[in-house]
């Protein structure tokens, strides 16, 4: 289980297949985010219709409500949310550190205040693994200390060293719990190190040596520049295990996907397409646009004339603009569906072009038309 077979390569870019207990994932892959056990405004049927292969859920949110014990009692996350394809859960580290709700940090673990009611909780690497075992995803993540892009080097060093010790504890706990679980889970460790080359390389080496079924890169797209992110991917590349999937956490935009795939990344997740969809922005081959723009009021064209999704096959910009003007749920649904389809379709195109050895040309052509927005606004 969790074999990763590389089917094609072009320079550092790869396309492959990852085997999981709930089916195969073709890479490069974009994973829609289902924070609270639902990809916002999507049914499982909708997700399948746009070729979603794996979704993500957030341990931080689910442990606080409804609680991992309830999910376990209801037969595990797949059954409970009615999604029989692969699922990945993060460890909660990102939320705990980025929401700045952390109240105490020790070698043992982190104490934080719940975003729901301010109640205090203490999480350890072992507990993060236990919770994820109860939730029951196919891929689970080691508990890490996620540092902001402008952190000092001394703090960044302290954080990766702690994250490395925590990763060892996560691995041990995971091996212990795996003995009594029916369906296997893959544990991925997370490379940190902010934007310091030597720390990133040190972390990449350490995590690779753990010899787990995959490896993740965390702490990027959290405040540093795009150039710094791409540079980091380049310098760690030689230290990553070749035959294991590499997951760049929390990324991203169409341009980041293409640049990261070009630097050897296989897996991505980001709330951007769903969040933009709920706030009335959509992608097409020329960039990102706000549907409420007055110029769309009598525009009979679909959001993206080249797109084959349900939204683009059936609805005009004029009608979609009306739905957003009226704050109708259908508008959020339709643009979410389109945006997810756009990113998933983009990864499908990269697979095809890597297999044929013409990914670089595809990427170059894409950027001829696509205008990059350097912010995360809608």
Residues forming the site for a copy of itself (CB under 8 A): 36-38, 40-45, 65-66, 70, 73-75, 80-82, 297-298, 300, 310, 314-316, 318-319, 322-323, 325-326, 328-330, 332-334
Length of the chain: 378
Is-contact 246 265, C-beta < 8 A? yes
Q: Cβ 351 to a copy of itself, closest distance in Å?
A: 28
Q: Do the Cβ atoms of 44 and 66 come closer than 8 Å?
A: no
CA 25 to chain centre: 14
Q: Report the nearest approach of a copy of itself to the CB of residue 294 (Å).
A: 11
Adjacent-strand bridge partners of 18: 4, 25
Q: Residue 289 and residue 303: Cα distance in Å, rounded? A: 9
CB of 37 to a copy of itself, least distance (A): 7
The SS3 assignment for 345 reads helix
**Is 269 in the active site?**
yes
Count the Cβ atoms, other than its own, within 10 Å of residue 75: 10
Q: Is residue 177 a contact partner of residue 130, using CB atoms and an 8 Å limit?
A: yes
Cα-trace Rg, the chain: 20
Nearer to a copy of itself, 46 or 345 (CB): 46
Query: Smallest distance, Å, CB 353 to a copy of itself?
Result: 32
Secondary structure of residue 60 in the 3-state scheme: helix
Maximal C-alpha separation, the chain: 61
Least spacing, CB of residue 126 vs a copy of itself, in Å: 26
The span from the CA of 111 to the CA of 93, in Å, is 11
- Considering 90, 144, 256, 284, which one is annotated as catalytic? 90
Alpha helices, H only, 88-215: 93-98, 125-135, 153-178, 197-209
| Residue of 134, 269, 284, 304 marked catalytic | 269
Distance CA 375, CA 378 (A): 9
Minimum CB distance to a copy of itself, residue 52 (Å):
14
* Angular region, 342: left φ>0, alpha ψ -120 to 50, beta rest: alpha
In angstroms, give the least distance from the CB of 236 to a copy of itself.
36
Cα–Cα distance for residue pair 130/336, rounded to 1 Å:
33
Cα 293 from Cα 283, distance rounded (Å): 14
CA atoms within 13 A on the CB side of 332: 13
Residue 221: closest CA among 64, 374, 6: 374
Q: Which is nearer to a copy of itself, 82 or 225 (CB)?
A: 82
Residues designated as active site: 90, 269
């Amino acid at each position: 289980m969790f074999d990763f077979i590389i089917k094609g390569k072009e320079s550092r870019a790869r396309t492959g297949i990852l085997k999981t207990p709930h089916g195969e994932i073709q890479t490069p892959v974009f994973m829609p985010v289902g924070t609270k056990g639902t990809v916002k405004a999507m049914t499982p049927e909708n997700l399948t219709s746009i070729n979603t292969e794996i979704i993500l859920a957030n341990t931080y949110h689910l442990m606080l409500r409804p609680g991992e014990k309830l999910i376990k009692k209801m037969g595990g996350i797949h059954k409970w949310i009615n999604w029989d394809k692969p699922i990945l859960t993060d460890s909660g580290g990102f939320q705990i550190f980025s929401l700045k709700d952390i109240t105490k940090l020790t070698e043992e673990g982190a104490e934080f205040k719940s975003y729901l009611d301010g109640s205090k909780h203490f999480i350890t690497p072992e507990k993060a693994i236990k919770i994820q075992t109860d939730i029951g995803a196919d891929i689970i993540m080691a508990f890490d200390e996620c540092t902001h892009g402008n952190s000092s080097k001394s703090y960044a060093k302290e954080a990766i060293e702690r994250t490395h010790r925590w990763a060892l504890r996560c691995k041990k706990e995971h091996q212990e719990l795996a003995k009594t679980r029916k369906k296997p889970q893959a544990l991925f460790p997370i490379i940190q190190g902010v934007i310091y080359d030597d720390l990133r390389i040190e972390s990449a080496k350490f995590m690779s040596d753990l010899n787990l079924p995959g490896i993740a890169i965390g702490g990027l797209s959290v405040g540093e520049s795009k150039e710094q992110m791409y540079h980091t991917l380049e310098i760690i590349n030689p230290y990553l295990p070749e035959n294991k999937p590499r997951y760049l956490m929390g990324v991203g935009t169409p341009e980041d996907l293409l640049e990261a795939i070009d630097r050897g990344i296989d897996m991505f997740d980001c709330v951007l397409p769903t969040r933009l969809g709920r706030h009335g922005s959509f992608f097409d081959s020329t960039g990102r646009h706000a549907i409420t723009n007055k110029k769309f009021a009598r525009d009979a064209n679909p959001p993206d004339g080249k797109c084959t999704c349900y939204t683009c096959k059936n609805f005009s910009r004029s009608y979609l603009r009306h739905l957003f003007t009226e704050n109708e749920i259908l508008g959020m649904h339709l643009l979410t569906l389109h945006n997810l389809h756009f990113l998933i379709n983009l990864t499908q195109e990269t697979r095809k072009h890597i297999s044929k050895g013409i990914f670089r040309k595809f990427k170059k052509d894409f950027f001829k038309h696509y205008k990059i927005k350097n912010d995360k606004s809608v």
